[in-house]
Chains A and B, each alone.
Chain A
Amino acid sequence: MNPTILRLSAQALLGRRRGVVLVLIPAVLLVLAVVVQALTDDAVGYDAVLHLGFTLALPLVALLAATAVLGPEVDDGSIVYLLSKPVSRHVIAASKYVVAWAATVVLGALPLLVAGLVLDTSDPRQAIAWGVGGAVAGTAYTALFLGLAAFTRHAVVIGLLFALLWEGVLGNVLDGIRWVAIGAWGREVATEISSKVPAQGIGLGYAVVAAALVTCGSLWFTGDRLRSFTLRGDE
């Protein structure tokens, strides 16, 4: 961890318009939760709102956070000034990851918990389950997207294809994708806390180990990519 890199990354993350969108996504989710709660009885919209937050808002926040801490610097080439400092590339990767991870947990997973509490105050256990599941999925998502951002300029599009097409559209059709979908791992952890979250049937052990492997693997990969970084021009 390097405090200067932490500070600079946090500035890049929350500075100007990017920060606004990053805050807008959870804000919209919470407004939706409040409106649905106000206009319906019982917990009618619970699943619909939490599903939206978990499958769309969470990956988008993670993607935005992960690409924000690395993408602009790679894009305008100013990352060479950072890489030329006598700081281990893995430390740089870890520092950037910590900032993006904190943003994902606060703006991606925490709103799930709050939305759950707003929609059904009688069952805080389920809300906590969604929050923890979101935090687990967010941890792996952020690491994966950070690795992508260090690997290719098209990190955003590839990340979107993974989160929305692979896990979303194809995941609905092909059940086997739950073994290789980060969202499903998060849900499995959530199921363990509250049985109201639909079970994925992949086992808690597998889910936790897979999420940890993806996180550590991607983090190491990010550091490795930064170690052998080559600057390319704009295409």
Chain B
Amino acid sequence: MTDPTSATPEGGSVIHDLGYRPYTGPRLGPAAIARALVITGFRNAFGLGRSGKSKVLPFILLALNLMPAVIVGGVMVFVGLDALPIGYAQYASTTQVLLGIFVASQAPVLFSRDLRHGTISLYLARPLPSSTYAIARWASLLGATLVFLLLPILVLYAVALLGELDVSDQTSDAAVAVGLALLLALSLTGLAGLIASWSTRRGFAVVATIALLLIGNGIVTAIQGISQQEGHARVGEVAGLFSPYSLYRGLMSIWTDNKTPTPPTGMPMQLAYVVVFIALSVACLGGLVWRYRRVATA
């Protein structure tokens, strides 16, 4: 068989030779397609490369999320505090509503639109396996969520360093917060992506994700509060395993000075928090890959 990319071979016979020059440059493989997909997906999550209107929402959410950090910075500068009024890790817990809304509202941008408009078949017609497509989309959303989570930490860290707080203390605190943020971003991205890929109605996917994240968190918080009041802290610790936000809070109270109700006590429980956190993310990614494999073979 002749190479379809080469020009009409010498002496070769074709039915129609219209004389057009075929593309003879280098052909990039699936890796390059996946990389391009991740980058455009990341830009699309913030509305870059899309219409002006779709930039409004993500950037308003990002600005709202950064506002407390900037205010804290301003207060630090003018009052001259000797410690940050809010911990690096505590920040994401405080702004969890905004974080949830951002992830929930931008996941359908990446996962629903191709499915709803049928453009997914154009992607899958390329030499790109459906699993790579799913992972590329997931990576885009993960990147966007990380930007959302890490920017405030960066602002706070910069303010702390400019305020001449202890560098090694601040660096270690910020590093712990970055690690926690990564865990949280992994699980939120997986959950939101999975829901958005199942329900292609945008508004519905957003509410379903928020309901899962915030009502789940609300229930866990209620149980933790009641169990602490009743003196059965263990119940609250187990309940904490059932929501990404409570997992985050649990690990935050082990690894930082910010205490929350019924933190996980004992090595097995603390380990369980980490394992469940990672297992949740892996399971969601697996679910996404499986979902797109079904789409590809349907």
- Chains A and B are bound partners: yes
Using a CB–CB cutoff of 8 Å, the interface residues on chain A facing chain B are: 17-18, 21, 24-25, 28, 32, 36, 39-40, 44-45, 48-49, 51-52, 56-57, 60, 63-64, 67-68, 71-72, 75, 154-157, 160-161, 164-165, 168-169, 234-235
What are 21 pairs between A and B in contact, CB < 8 Å? A21-B207, A21-B208, A28-B215, A36-B222, A36-B223, A40-B230, A44-B229, A51-B222, A56-B214, A56-B218, A60-B210, A64-B204, A71-B204, A156-B202, A156-B207, A157-B101, A160-B210, A164-B97, A164-B210, A165-B97, A165-B101
With A52-B219, A161-B101, A234-B113 known, 13 other A-B pairs at CB within 8 A are A17-B199, A24-B211, A32-B223, A51-B222, A57-B215, A64-B207, A67-B207, A68-B204, A72-B201, A155-B203, A157-B101, A165-B64, A235-B50
Q: Does B262 contact A (CB under 8 A)?
A: no
**Alpha-carbon distance between A64 and B215 when the two chains are bound, in angstroms:** 14
Neighbouring A residues of B214 by C-beta, 8 Å: 56, 60, 164
Which chain B residues lie closer than 8 Å to A160 at the CB level? 101, 206-207, 210
Answer yes or no: B225 CB below 8 A from chain A CBs: yes
Expressed in whole angstroms, the minimum distance between the Cβ of B221 and any Cβ of chain A is: 8
Point out residues on B near A: beta carbons under 8 Å. Answer: 50-51, 53-54, 57, 64, 97-98, 101, 105, 113, 117, 199, 201-204, 206-208, 210-211, 214-215, 218-219, 221-223, 225-226, 229-230, 235
The answer for the CA separation of A48 and B208 in the assembled complex, in Å, is 22
Task: Give the interface SS of chain B, mostly helix, strand, loop or mixed.
Answer: helix
Q: How far is the CA of A69 from the CA of B219 in the complex (A)?
A: 28
Question: What is the interface of chain A mostly: helix, strand, loop, or mixed?
Answer: helix
Which of B57, B207, B215 is close to A154, meaning CB atoms less than 8 Å apart? B57
| Contact between B211 and A21, CB atoms less than 8 A apart | yes
Cα A39 to Cα B227 in complex, Å, equals: 10
* Chain B: minimal CB distance from A183 (Å): 14
B101 is contacted by which of A24, A52, A164 (Cβ under 8 Å)? A164
Name the distance in Å between A200's Cβ and chain B's nearest Cβ: 21
Complex interface: chain B residues within 8 A of A235 (CB): 50-51, 53-54
In angstroms, Cα B222 to Cα A36, docked, is: 10
The chain B residue sitting closest to A21, CB to CB, is: B208
Whether B211 pairs with A44 at a CB distance below 8 angstroms is no
Q: Could you say which of A21, A48, A67, A165 contacts B225, with CB atoms under 8 Å apart?
A: A48
Candidates A17, A44, A60, A71; contact of B230 at CB < 8 Å: A44
A161-B101, A165-B64 given as contacts; is B222 within 8 A of A49 (CB)?
Answer: yes
Chain A positions within 8 Å of B199 at CB level = 17
A155 CB contacts on chain B under 8 angstroms: 203
Set of chain B residues within 8 Å of A51, measured between Cβ atoms: 222
CA distance A75 to B113 in the complex (A): 12
